[in-house]
Structure 1
């Protein structure tokens, strides 16, 4: 196996450690003066962008308080900013921001439409980089050996040699595809694993052949002594054990022959191939923990649907492996980052954005009444509205967070799901309702799932759940968990309970899938051209074709 410290020099590692710890310390100290920081962030975005078209139209130059800002600027989603963004992307300057975008992040959003999120130097310097560096501090502090280039498999990395361009000639691509060092002059911003020998593939692959790229990186990483897997998106982390099984024979053959993607560009390694064959004789299936016995860290989102399957998935990566939470953030801006060793929740990044919140069950729109961070209640769930200097003004991104507790007097939150409810007959069932109910029903039944999705099924007007159990369930167990799920949904959602009482909804129906059903679905979506970083868990699947693709597929169809 290769050395875990091949890529970064000792000096680079030392500088990187200093930077991530410094940014974490700054954000931690800021919690003690959170309200002052929120006022400072508001003044900065108003003063810096007062002369923009948006700033002039909304009177930024006259606003000094949050209440004045609330009255001047409506709460809106991407649709409300899209006309302004399109003007920027066409080449008009000084529209939303006083400095020009360097790139536009793409985001699929909940509708699948590709957004253009302008990314400016001022936003990156004041809002993005502080939380971005701080996010790695816990991993670097408690697992120092993972920082080396050949110790980390970064599943989110996807360099794009020829990105699409907007009308103003700026790259339009995913955040994981941007070289922050080259674009923004931040040489320390390269994530762990982005200098590994599998980060730059030794053979040419079509830019949209994402499955082959995933295979090639895995084939190269199997020869190394991995200490960490970075997924951010937990669906990619869940897919990796399945990929080992799916591609096992090809990987072993290529390691023995010294080929990568069928081309002789590596040294043959019959000894490592023999080790792998011995593993396959001992374990069925072979898991990441077997291939990489020194693996210690998985870094990904831990909330939402992933909370149902990560506890057991962790075992595939090894006994005692830490699953560290990635920040609560979107392409449009940061919300929270973990500043200690909490397994799920992070503190609001009070230096990055002005945060407002709307209770999750209330409709959100132009005139929505919002709460400030100090008004949030532990246990409450809220839609996040944020404003920052990069042009996102009172932007409702559609995420719901749950307040876990307070750290330094500031709310600490975890991701609870998307805000858009499933609402066939007025039940307004949110993702967090369903995930919480499933968690309760599974815990009461002593059962576990690898993943879950649901929909409102046709004329029957009942929720149909597609579940992939870890072990087979008997008929009685399936019936009992269906009953407990129904009861838990009624307890969590007044709308669902009302719909059940009034007969507008029948009780849920469970469809049990085989263990790999969700992984096969993930592979199909990637094979159809979606980048792995954007293939997320889908709890609500009302599209008929999408549902049939999940529940109708059978083993051996990959």
Structure 2
């Protein structure tokens, strides 16, 4: 081991043993008093946001009780607050965030226009605290950071907004702002994520990662990124070996000569863990990654995290139990079945029941007040007196296989591009196969329809475009249906799903689990 690595390990152990443990212990202490902690978190958030345009409109103040706050502020989604975000960017005033954002987290919106979520100094401080607690839990359980770290994220600055504020990925901002001793463990420098060409970016990451034998942890939001990285390494392993150290080159050349496909375990036998999303649409890709790992390596869930909020961190690494960040974020919940029937009366964190699915509503220090995440979580256990939460899926009308968060509105807009409107269509997200398939009755040529829909979705959804460009999502497939398919599907909904005929609503975008209708008997052809 190099002297620099020894120093980095010592500094990391010291930091995790002090700052990391302190953040971890604080969170566990809060978990013993969830109702009190949530009330205190809400007061701090309302105090910070009382002077914003949004706060003044709703009469927000630290004196409001939880019930008064719920009565005063309606539940909203991004389209309800888009004008406030736009006004803050254009004027520099505090329309939504109580301070000038360091950056805006950019992600796809349901209408096609990107979402810009303020990331303030206070919000970043909370993210860092959470990161310390999470790293402590991982290192304490598995000694994850004894070797090198392959962290894969986005660019902190993907564009510069009108007021000069960068917009991009919060992972990039956190990655850039890590302490020097932690950055010394990076295999991939943050500048790499700013490479615009996806093929070049993945090849650069592959070269850097494969040349390093001492990788002990890989961290990336989506497990499909690991699968894509391995594909690139397999394709270019000979070229990578030519630029590696002599010892590593010999190892890579030997691996390239093997008849068996190159696996994660072959490249990095010292790997202790991969930190990534394990649930929802990522489960299939996560299982494929797990099959490639060294025997003792763990798959650790990355927790419930989105552009708007870091909701949980895994504090029990062995059981993958994730504790809500109840001292930072004020949470509300509606049972999933009730929400989908139009119910908006919320429960609080301490009121949740085991093995039950809930839609999530959050209030944050950066100005999101009673913001509907359109995410479904499940109570998966208990830590102290606080329910542990597991991300299950996006809400109705939104699907997510590799992080693209496709919406039903975008599907409708893409279908509207076709010269002849179809009689009937449904787009199904098949996470097991890692692709989207559109079932279309009365639309013409399957290949043409696939190309039109796919091209329009790439225009409408920046994350769908990113996943398509990087190869993590293939082109959408189309299956043409013979006449009568639509009627058969509607009968299925009324007979099997218990919907009244007058109330039956066809969701144009569904997961394979939601859409349990067998289209095979009605298929004419499909595009490959």
So what's the TM-score if we normalise by structure 1?
Answer: 0.70
Query: How many Å apart are 1:379 and its aligned residue?
Result: 1.3
Query: How many Å apart are 1:157 and its aligned residue?
Result: 5.6
What is the aligned partner in structure 2 of residue 152 from structure 1? 149
Taking the aligned partners of 1:61 and 1:495, their CA distance within structure 2 comes to 51
Taking the aligned partners of 1:344 and 1:429, their CA distance within structure 2 comes to 32
One of 162, 165, 168 as aligned partner of 2:160: 165
Taking the aligned partners of 2:437 and 2:331, their CA distance within structure 1 comes to 32
One of 353, 356, 364 as aligned partner of 1:388: 364
- Indicate if the aligned counterparts of 1:404 and 1:411 stay in contact, CA closer than 8 A: yes
Is residue 2:446 matched to residue 1:457?
Answer: no
Is the partner of 1:351 in helix, strand or coil?
coil
Q: Which stretch of the first structure deviates more once superposed, 73-82 or 369-378?
A: 369-378
Query: How many Å apart are 1:170 and its aligned residue?
Result: 1.3
What is the aligned partner in structure 2 of residue 82 from structure 1? 82
Cα deviation 1:70-109 (Å, max 9, x = unaligned) = 1111101111111111111113323223322121111225
One of 193, 197, 209 as aligned partner of 1:209: 197
CA 1:97–1:73 in 2, change beyond 3 Å: closer, same or farther?
Answer: same
Cα deviation 1:95-148 (Å, max 9, x = unaligned) = 2233221211112255654211111122333x4333222222222113336255
What is the aligned partner in structure 2 of residue 91 from structure 1? 91
Taking the aligned partners of 1:368 and 1:156, their CA distance within structure 2 comes to 35
CA 1:12–1:137 in 2, change beyond 3 Å: closer, same or farther?
Answer: closer
Alignment gaps of 5+ in structure 2:
399-407, 413-422, 444-492, 507-514
What is the aligned partner in structure 2 of residue 404 from structure 1? 380
Taking the aligned partners of 1:430 and 1:63, their CA distance within structure 2 comes to 47
Is residue 2:377 matched to residue 1:377?
Answer: no
Is the partner of 1:415 in helix, strand or coil?
strand
Is the partner of 2:265 in helix, strand or coil?
helix
One of 215, 229, 239 as aligned partner of 1:240: 229
CA 1:137–1:158 in 2, change beyond 3 Å: closer, same or farther?
Answer: same
- Indicate if the aligned counterparts of 2:238 and 2:253 stay in contact, CA closer than 8 A: no
Is the partner of 1:458 in helix, strand or coil?
strand
Is the partner of 1:396 in helix, strand or coil?
strand
What is the aligned partner in structure 1 of residue 128 from structure 2? 129
CA 1:230–1:112 in 2, change beyond 3 Å: closer, same or farther?
Answer: farther
CA 1:360–1:385 in 2, change beyond 3 Å: closer, same or farther?
Answer: same
Q: Which stretch of the first structure deviates more once superposed, 79-88 or 205-214?
A: 205-214
Query: How many Å apart are 1:274 and its aligned residue?
Result: 2.5
Is residue 2:309 matched to residue 1:333?
Answer: yes
- Indicate if the aligned counterparts of 1:157 and 1:194 stay in contact, CA closer than 8 A: no
- Indicate if the aligned counterparts of 1:103 and 1:171 stay in contact, CA closer than 8 A: yes
Is the partner of 2:33 in helix, strand or coil?
helix
Query: How many Å apart are 1:8 and its aligned residue?
Result: 2.7
- Indicate if the aligned counterparts of 2:211 and 2:240 stay in contact, CA closer than 8 A: no
What is the aligned partner in structure 1 of residue 217 from structure 2? 228
Query: How many Å apart are 1:12 and its aligned residue?
Result: 4.7
So what's the TM-score if we normalise by structure 2?
Answer: 0.74
CA 1:364–1:134 in 2, change beyond 3 Å: closer, same or farther?
Answer: farther
CA 1:392–1:366 in 2, change beyond 3 Å: closer, same or farther?
Answer: farther
Query: How many Å apart are 1:375 and its aligned residue?
Result: 2.2
Query: How many Å apart are 1:342 and its aligned residue?
Result: 4.5
What is the aligned partner in structure 2 of residue 467 from structure 1? none
Cα deviation 1:269-299 (Å, max 9, x = unaligned) = 3443232222233342111211222112111
What is the aligned partner in structure 2 of residue 199 from structure 1? 189
CA 1:304–1:197 in 2, change beyond 3 Å: closer, same or farther?
Answer: closer
CA 1:275–1:62 in 2, change beyond 3 Å: closer, same or farther?
Answer: closer
Is the partner of 2:68 in helix, strand or coil?
helix
What is the aligned partner in structure 2 of residue 289 from structure 1? 265
Please tell me the root mean square deviation across aligned C-alpha atoms, in Å: 3.8
Taking the aligned partners of 1:54 and 1:200, their CA distance within structure 2 comes to 35
Q: Which stretch of the first structure deviates more once superposed, 115-124 or 381-390?
A: 115-124
What is the aligned partner in structure 1 of residue 452 from structure 2? none
Cα deviation 1:163-190 (Å, max 9, x = unaligned) = 52222221112112215775xxxx64x7
Taking the aligned partners of 2:336 and 2:427, their CA distance within structure 1 comes to 11
Cα deviation 1:401-431 (Å, max 9, x = unaligned) = 11112221211111101002479999x9998
Taking the aligned partners of 2:7 and 2:494, their CA distance within structure 1 comes to 54
